[in-house]
């Protein structure tokens, strides 16, 4: 099974790289810095004879517009290099599973992110994953909490609900009606990374003493979401860029303790985020990789005959088990 993880520095470089490292074989950089510095493809051969790939495009989502936008989008040069490698090393030029991480940091403000991630753009991303890479399964990731989008109830939660709903509706509409498929894609699932990061940030806020410990399992509830939303806006750090622009960063995203000042330089870093956007992968990657593997097993069950309800239940169980901070049980 050939798998491609696609996104920006968080999705492709951090999460995608960890996926390649997990294969246990050496990594090869097919294309790096050509024609644009931030765009690159890395691949590795898996022990089972397939290929795992990571494709960083700062556009991340797939669309006709991004295909024409070289610095952000998909390059024909990159796609050809990947397909040639796939054909040589796996006897197939197609990707079986594409995992898309939305590049929130490159889209713009919170409002621009919410406006850009809509039903049309998500459907187009799914369709293009099939038409460009030959994918039959697409996994859409919800957007994580970060400096780029941290208004939970107003922006992040609604847009992530849309992503989850798109995956669910696609399965419902195409499971018994293959003619309704978006190109070659047969299955769409969702990895609820957004929920996982909310759990992590809430647990960190509890550890910092910003909120009282209401529950024994650190689980986030509808009530605590409102509390966390307020904390992210009332306890902030300030950073000044090289051009004098002031950036506000929620303290709970970056610090492990409360600071005496609101300067980012005075903040002792926590073990979740490197800078309020990029994740500390050595601490959080395990659950993300397990969640991805779990969803792939839902899409490709050992027993071929399965129902729509079983697939949806499987997706829910994967996200409940791995996209949280609850202790894992066998």
Classify each residue of 250-267 as buried b or exposed e, where b means 16 or more C-beta atoms within 10 Å of its C-beta: bbbbbbeeebeeeebeeb
Neighbours of 25 (CB within 10 A): 13
Q: Please tell me the predicted confidence (pLDDT) of residue 297.
A: 93
**Tokens 């621009």 -> residue:** 112
What is the C-alpha separation between 153 and 226, in angstroms, rounded? 7
What is the C-alpha separation between 45 and 54, in angstroms, rounded? 12
What is the C-alpha separation between 131 and 312, in angstroms, rounded? 25
Q: Please tell me the predicted confidence (pLDDT) of residue 13.
A: 84
CA distances from 145 to 54, 192, 229 (A): 22, 11, 11
What is the C-alpha separation between 55 and 16, in angstroms, rounded? 8
Q: Would you write out the chain's pLDDT as a tens digit for each of its 330 residues?
A: 999 999 888 888 889 888 888 876 788 888 776 556 677 888 998 888 899 999 988 765 676 666 656 666 777 778 888 999 999 988 789 999 999 999 888 888 899 999 989 998 898 889 889 988 999 999 999 999 998 999 999 999 999 999 999 999 888 876 666 656 667 898 999 999 999 999 999 989 988 988 876 655 556 676 688 889 999 998 888 876 667 777 778 999 989 988 877 777 788 899 999 988 899 999 999 999 999 999 999 998 877 666 777 888 999 999 999 999 888 876
What is the C-alpha separation between 178 and 183, in angstroms, rounded? 10
> Looking at the DSSP assignment, which residues form a beta bridge with residue 188?
138
What is the C-alpha separation between 84 and 291, in angstroms, rounded? 29
Q: Please tell me the predicted confidence (pLDDT) of residue 12.
A: 86
SS3 319: helix
């Amino acid at each position: 099974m050939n798998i491609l993880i696609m996104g920006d520095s968080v999705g492709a470089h951090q999460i995608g790289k960890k996926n390649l490292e997990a294969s246990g074989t050496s990594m090869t950089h097919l294309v790096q810095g050509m024609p644009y510095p931030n765009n690159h493809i890395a691949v590795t051969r898996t022990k089972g004879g397939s290929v795992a790939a990571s494709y960083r495009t700062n556009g991340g989502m797939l669309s006709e517009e991004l295909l024409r936008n070289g610095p952000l989008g998909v390059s024909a040069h990159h796609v050809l290099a990947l397909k040639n490698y796939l054909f040589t090393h796996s006897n197939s030029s197609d990707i079986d599973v594409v995992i898309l991480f939305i590049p929130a940091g490159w889209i713009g403000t919170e409002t621009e992110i919410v406006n850009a991630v809509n039903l049309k753009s998500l459907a187009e991303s799914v369709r293009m994953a099939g038409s460009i890479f030959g994918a039959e399964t697409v996994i859409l990731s919800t957007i994580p909490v970060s400096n780029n989008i941290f208004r939970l109830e107003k922006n992040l939660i609604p847009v992530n609900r849309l992503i989850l709903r798109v995956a669910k509706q696609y399965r419902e509409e195409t499971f018994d009606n293959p003619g309704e498929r978006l190109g070659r894609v047969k299955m769409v699932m969702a990895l609820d990374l957004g929920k996982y990061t909310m759990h992590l940030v809430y647990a960190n806020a509890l550890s910092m003493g910003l909120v009282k410990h209401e529950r024994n399992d650190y689980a986030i509830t509808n009530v605590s979401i409102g509390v966390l939303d307020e904390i992210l806006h009332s306890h902030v750090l300030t950073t000044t860029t090289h051009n004098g622009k002031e950036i506000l960063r929620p303290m709970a995203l970056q610090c492990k303790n409360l600071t005496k000042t609101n300067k980012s330089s005075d903040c002792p870093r926590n073990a979740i985020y490197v800078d309020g956007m990029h994740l500390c992968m050595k601490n959080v990657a395990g659950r993300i990789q397990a969640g991805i593997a779990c969803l792939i097993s839902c899409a490709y069950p050992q027993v071929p005959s399965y129902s729509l309800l079983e697939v949806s239940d499987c997706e829910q169980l994967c996200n409940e088990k791995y996209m949280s901070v609850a202790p894992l049980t066998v």
